[in-house]
Amino acid sequence: MRRFGGVSMGTEHDRARKGAVNGPSASARGRSERPGSRQVVPSIDVEDEETRYLAPIGPTEPSDGRKMQSSEAHAPVVPVTADELERQIRELETRLKSMLAGGQPRDASGGSRGGPEAQWGPRQGGAPAAHESHASEPPPSEPGTARDVLSTDFYLRQWGRAGLRSRSEEVDEFGFDPKYEARYRPLFDFLYRHYFRIDLQGVEHVPSEGRCLVVSNHAGGPIPYDGLMLRAAVRREHPAHRELRWLADDFVYYLPFAGTIMNRVGAVRACQENAERLLAGERLVAVFPEGAKGSGKLYKDRYQLQRFGRGGFIRLCLRTRTPLVPCAIVGAEETNPLLYRVEHVTRALGIPYLPITPTFPALGPLGLVPAPTKWKIRMAEPVRFDAYGPEAADDQILVRRLAERVRATIQGLLDETLATRKSIWFG
């Protein structure tokens, strides 16, 4: 070791080496702790010479802030209860409704909660203010202004939100909601057993599995209950307790609330595509070839089958090789006896006619309540089309002949059942 003036030349070298092991010196710590100064710490995979090319992580973020963010990122997640989540969703809906209406969210006293700064906080970053994020909001059912109450869209939005909240997660591709139907199944069973007192015969002709098409006369007045009761009858009385889906007329979906309710309890909008998809899934399907003409028959023409369209149900059976079960329903056409129908004014609304019955429109909506008549449902032996190929569906003459044969079978079942009936109310 060389010495110069009594001082060892290796002292500074040794002191620097000790500082590298024991940490920065006091002077270095003092320089790093000065206000406004910052020490660049290189990463473990970056060379010392390359640190001068590195930019700071953020011009406004100190290193202590980075440590705090990393600690928050690994913080445990606090579970949110269902009530708390529902409350937050309701608050967001209320705030969004106020924004769409062009007004300010209101507090419990009815006054506005301030301008945009009070609602959305400072303009830097555009984030909501912390003290306003959980402020009290009016219940979703209370409108913000009188203009909302007078608007028809307000009630449609409220009905839609209530329907979405009550809709289960098991809705199928056609809109059937099993939880919704289970909620009203006691009502359907009451109508089946005690109100209409349905007498069912021939349910054993419906196969226990596989696709099948039940063809029936259409009756029930302004709101046809025949599809709903036919579904309840097969589910209760069939040995396999099969689930039946029925095709509903288009005009049902134009009625207030009726289309949505029917769709959620098992009805499917009537069209060839929906019928083919149902049968492709090996399901039991009911159709009413009379359509709106069947449910709109006058009381003097009751139980006289109307024209069965163009035989679309026959083409469906031929293409899909599906057996057909004729069915007759007696008693449904007296529930709301149709005396007259108004057709010219209602076509613009999508409704085929306005019914005139002994109780409607004299009693208002109460006049649509069906009368407690005695129902009888008769099913005949299945008709099979195994002797025909799928190409037979293009033969119009054959299709019409087979449709008339099925129509004559159902008309015979109606006549036989009416001949043995003694009373409309007691069967």
Same domain as 377, residue 332: yes
pLDDT at 6: 44
Position 215 in a domain? yes
Position 370 in a domain? yes
Same domain as 186, residue 154: no
Please state, in angstroms and rounded to a whole number, the distance separating the CA atoms of residues 367 and 370.
8
Per-residue pLDDT tens over the stretch 295-321: 888 999 999 998 898 899 999 999 999
Per-residue pLDDT tens over the stretch 192-242: 999 999 999 999 999 999 999 999 999 766 777 999 999 999 999 999 999
Q: What is the DSSP string of 276-297?
A: HHHHHTT-EEEE-TTTHHHHT-
Position 295 in a domain? yes
Q: What is the DSSP string of 176-239?
A: --HHHHHHHHHHHHHIIIIIS--EEE-GGGS-SSS-EEEEE---STTS--HHHHHHHHHHHHST
Position 358 in a domain? yes
Position 405 in a domain? yes
Please state, in angstroms and rounded to a whole number, the distance separating the CA atoms of residues 228 and 216.
13
Position 120 in a domain? no
pLDDT at 155: 57
Same domain as 372, residue 228: yes
Per-residue pLDDT tens over the stretch 235-285: 999 999 999 999 998 778 777 778 888 889 999 999 999 999 999 999 999
Q: What is the DSSP string of 225-267?
A: -HHHHHHHHHHHHSTT---EEEEEPGGGGGSTTHHHHHHHTTE
At residue 294's C-alpha, the angle toward residues 293 and 298, to 5°, is 85
Q: pTM for this structure? A: 0.63
Please state, in angstroms and rounded to a whole number, the distance separating the CA atoms of residues 297 and 280.
33
DSSP state for residue 378 in the 8-state scheme:
E
Q: Are 316 and 230 in contact (CB under 8 A)?
A: no
- 346 CB-contact burial (10 Å; exposed 0-12 / middle 13-18 / buried 19+): middle
What is the pLDDT of the chain when averaged over all its residues?
76
| Structural domains counted in the chain | 2
Position 209 in a domain? yes
Domain around 159: 141-170
243-252 burial, b at 16+ Cβ within 10 Å, e below that, comes to: ebbbbbbebb
The count of C-alpha atoms lying within 13 angstroms of the C-alpha of 77, restricted to the half-sphere facing its C-beta, is: 3
- Helix, strand, coil shares of the chain as percentages rounded to 5? 45, 10, 45
Same domain as 227, residue 145: no
Q: Are 277 and 269 in contact (CB under 8 A)?
A: no
**209 Cβ contact partners less than 8 Å away, ≥ 6 residues apart:** 240, 282
pLDDT at 158: 60
Same domain as 148, residue 195: no
Position 216 in a domain? yes
